[in-house]
Amino acid sequence: MYIYDEIDQRMVDERVKQFADQTRRFLEGKLSEDAFRQLRLRNGLYIQRYAPMLRIAIPYGLLASRQLRKIAHVARAYDRGYGHFSTRQNLQLNWPKLEDVPAILAELATVQMHAIQTSGNCVRNITTDHFAGVARDELVDSFVWCEIIRQWSTFHPEFSWLPRKFKIAVNGARSDRAAVEIHDIGLRVVRADDGAIGFRVLVGGGLGRTPIIGQTLREFLPWPHLLTYLEAILRTYNRYGRRDNIHKARIKIIVKEFGIERFRREVDDEWAQLKDGPNTLVEEEVKRIETRFTRPQYEKLPATDRALERLLVRDAAFRNWHARNVHPHKVPGYAAVTLSLKKTGVPPGDVTSEQMEAVADLADRHSFGELRVSHEQNLILADVKLAQLHDLWQEARSLGLATPNIGLLTNIICCPGGDFCGLANAKSIPVAQAIQERFDDLDYLHDIGEIDINISGCMNACGHHHVGHIGILGVDKNGEEWYQIEIGGNQGEIRPGLKASLGKVIGPSFARAEVPEVIERLIRCYLDRRDSEAERFIDVVHRIGAEFFKEYVYGKADPQSPRRRRHLAVA
């Protein structure tokens, strides 16, 4: 956990004061609706379909137990007793009162939390690998770099009124668990032959209505130049990014219009002026940030635990959970554990105040008082002793947080959708639930193996549907909710070699009631076609192509046959 120093803390406290004053002036009629909208967005406050929504920042997804307890308290005192973890590793409260928001922010500031830049056309929360610091394939701990970028981007005087929002992800391991290829800027740590650390810089990736995979802007950027180079990219974007059309305003569009070569030239010309200037990082600063992170005091333990192994043999339910929700750790005798927020019947990513408090206790007892939020909307206890796994499992199970489905079909990424969001064309949570109910047989789930299903309620793609192995997009057809199905998307190089890819729509959209059956057909096609259990759904799609799957879903003769559609509608 990064611990604020006095200056970090003052910055957050002063922002609370500033926002309280802005809210006061708005309520007194001294600030126009339009101006206040932009200002409140920069502090994470939306006005949604039914109520305001406050998005609280969880920088790079790292959270201390005392912070989670504070969120639990805030959710109970000012909201309806629950919160929603988002795909940007943040937390959203769906029902706060506008007038209460300054008080909520003041409470959050007491535990070094805030809502700074969680919305608006500025640099948003920096995201990263939820196994940062503990992964076996890690090159460096990406949290340190995320914090350096967080500080650089916080209240940046020049880049607070960009053409559009700006998302940066950092990955410090060999596998990419941060989906860097679908960010405005993606940074992948690379180690040069001489051992020097640097970044491969990707630019122009993103989802939304124009999904694009990011391109490499620079193969190797030595770490001291990180901030000057970011500044050069952001200045190029701020000056030349499109402002005439909100749907063409993300950096990906200007990268596409310029072409990567010209965009690189523009950035390099700008960088030539900034390089080696005062923003050049120094080793003292990297070390200073590093030492402000609390580090678990690991015990020296054997790499295996006898008792654990006996329990795994004896208890099939524990074994299932262990197989899916327990992850290897770089320190012998420890493991990382995912607490699943994807239990059937619960909106994906939602947690009650009681669960938050219980999870905070679990973190204190089993994982040095810290936890992480994953972009797949689950919670991670990153440093659990092997000997404590069984206890933890039992406790998590009684809290409804031990669904053994990480990586499996029911671990659905899902936006809040039409139940909450003012932008949505369709509901997404009931679709996730219907699929989870359909695939509720654990043996079947394990047989299907690893698959990502992502659901977005509109083309803004908060549920990352383009990069789901199966992506589901809610669309509006003459006022009715319909669902388009894509297959073949992939969020990134989680397994080396399989790069990020965008799904392709398989055909005409479906009514909500049809969706589980369509998923079932896609799965049956996969099971028929796979070479072995080791070949995952996405591998088969890439190997045999989407056509086969399409035929399976729509029927061979006439994919758009009305008879087939009627049949499906009653299935």
Q: How many CB atoms lie within 10 A of CB 443?
A: 8
Write out the E strands in 125-253.
127-128, 168-171, 185-191, 197-203, 215-222
State in angstroms the smallest separation of the CB of 370 from other proteins: 24
Alpha carbon of 338 to those of 183, 323, 371: distances in Å?
24, 11, 10
Site residues for other proteins, window 208-247 (CB under 8 A)? 227, 235, 238-239, 243
Distance CA 216, CA 201 (A): 6
State in angstroms the smallest separation of the CB of 132 from other proteins: 21
Judged by CB under 8 A, does residue 23 bind other proteins?
Answer: no
Judged by CB under 8 A, does residue 280 bind other proteins?
Answer: yes
Judged by CB under 8 A, does residue 278 bind other proteins?
Answer: yes
Q: How many CB atoms lie within 10 A of CB 28?
A: 8
Which part of the chain contacts other proteins (CB under 8 A), choosing from 51-59, 158-166, 364-372, 476-484?
Answer: 158-166
**From 3, 27, 35, 571, residue interacting with other proteins (rule: CB under 8 A):** 35
Cβ proximity to other proteins: between 94 and 154 the closer is 154
CA 386 to chain centre: 27
Judged by CB under 8 A, does residue 257 bind other proteins?
Answer: no
Cβ proximity to other proteins: between 41 and 173 the closer is 41
Judged by CB under 8 A, does residue 283 bind other proteins?
Answer: no
Q: Which of 180, 195, 280, 192 is nearest to 230 (CA)?
A: 280
Judged by CB under 8 A, does residue 276 bind other proteins?
Answer: yes
Cβ proximity to other proteins: between 160 and 210 the closer is 160
Which part of the chain contacts other proteins (CB under 8 A), choosing from 31-39, 107-115, 174-182, 259-267?
Answer: 31-39
Judged by CB under 8 A, does residue 121 bind other proteins?
Answer: yes
Cβ proximity to other proteins: between 26 and 482 the closer is 26
Q: Is the separation of the CB atoms in 138 and 156 below 8 Å?
A: no
State in angstroms the smallest separation of the CB of 13 from other proteins: 10
Q: How many CB atoms lie within 10 A of CB 106?
A: 15
State in angstroms the smallest separation of the CB of 139 from other proteins: 23
Which part of the chain contacts other proteins (CB under 8 A), choosing from 269-277, 301-309, 343-351, 517-525?
Answer: 269-277
Give 514-518 contacts, CB < 8 A, sequence gap 24+.
514/483, 514/568, 514/569, 514/571, 515/431, 515/434, 515/435, 515/472, 515/483, 515/485, 516/434, 516/435, 516/437, 516/438, 517/438, 517/568, 517/571, 518/485, 518/553, 518/568
Judged by CB under 8 A, does residue 269 bind other proteins?
Answer: no
Determine whether 254 is exposed, middle or buried from the number of CB atoms within 10 Å of its CB (0-12, 13-18, 19+): buried
Cβ proximity to other proteins: between 281 and 341 the closer is 281
Judged by CB under 8 A, does residue 557 bind other proteins?
Answer: no
Which part of the chain contacts other proteins (CB under 8 A), choosing from 80-88, 138-146, 157-165, 359-367?
Answer: 157-165
**From 24, 209, 265, 288, residue interacting with other proteins (rule: CB under 8 A):** 288
Q: Is the separation of the CB atoms in 175 and 490 below 8 Å?
A: no
State in angstroms the smallest separation of the CB of 71 from other proteins: 24
Judged by CB under 8 A, does residue 365 bind other proteins?
Answer: no
Strand order in the sheet with 91-93: 45-47, 52-56, 91-93, 82-85, 350-352
Cβ proximity to other proteins: between 195 and 278 the closer is 278
Site residues for other proteins, window 37-76 (CB under 8 A)? 38-39
State in angstroms the smallest separation of the CB of 250 from other proteins: 15
Q: Is the separation of the CB atoms in 483 and 472 below 8 Å?
A: yes
User: What is the token pair recorded at 271?
Assistant: 């960088």
**From 29, 157, 345, 562, residue interacting with other proteins (rule: CB under 8 A):** 157
Q: Is the separation of the CB atoms in 222 and 286 below 8 Å?
A: no
| Residue 536 DSSP one-character state | -
Distance CA 150, CA 8 (A): 11
Judged by CB under 8 A, does residue 110 bind other proteins?
Answer: no
State in angstroms the smallest separation of the CB of 177 from other proteins: 27
Judged by CB under 8 A, does residue 11 bind other proteins?
Answer: yes
The HSE-up count of residue 477 (CA atoms within 13 Å, CB side) is: 11
**From 273, 304, 398, 561, residue interacting with other proteins (rule: CB under 8 A):** 273
Q: Where are the alpha helices (DSSP H) in 417-557?
A: 429-438, 442-448, 515-529, 537-544, 546-554
Q: How many CB atoms lie within 10 A of CB 293?
A: 15
Which part of the chain contacts other proteins (CB under 8 A), choosing from 30-38, 99-107, 166-174, 303-311?
Answer: 30-38
Judged by CB under 8 A, does residue 381 bind other proteins?
Answer: no
Cβ proximity to other proteins: between 14 and 299 the closer is 14
Name the residues that contact other proteins, by CB under 8 A: 7, 10-11, 14-15, 17-18, 21-22, 30-31, 35, 38-39, 121, 151-152, 154-163, 227, 235, 238-239, 243, 273, 276-282, 284-285, 288
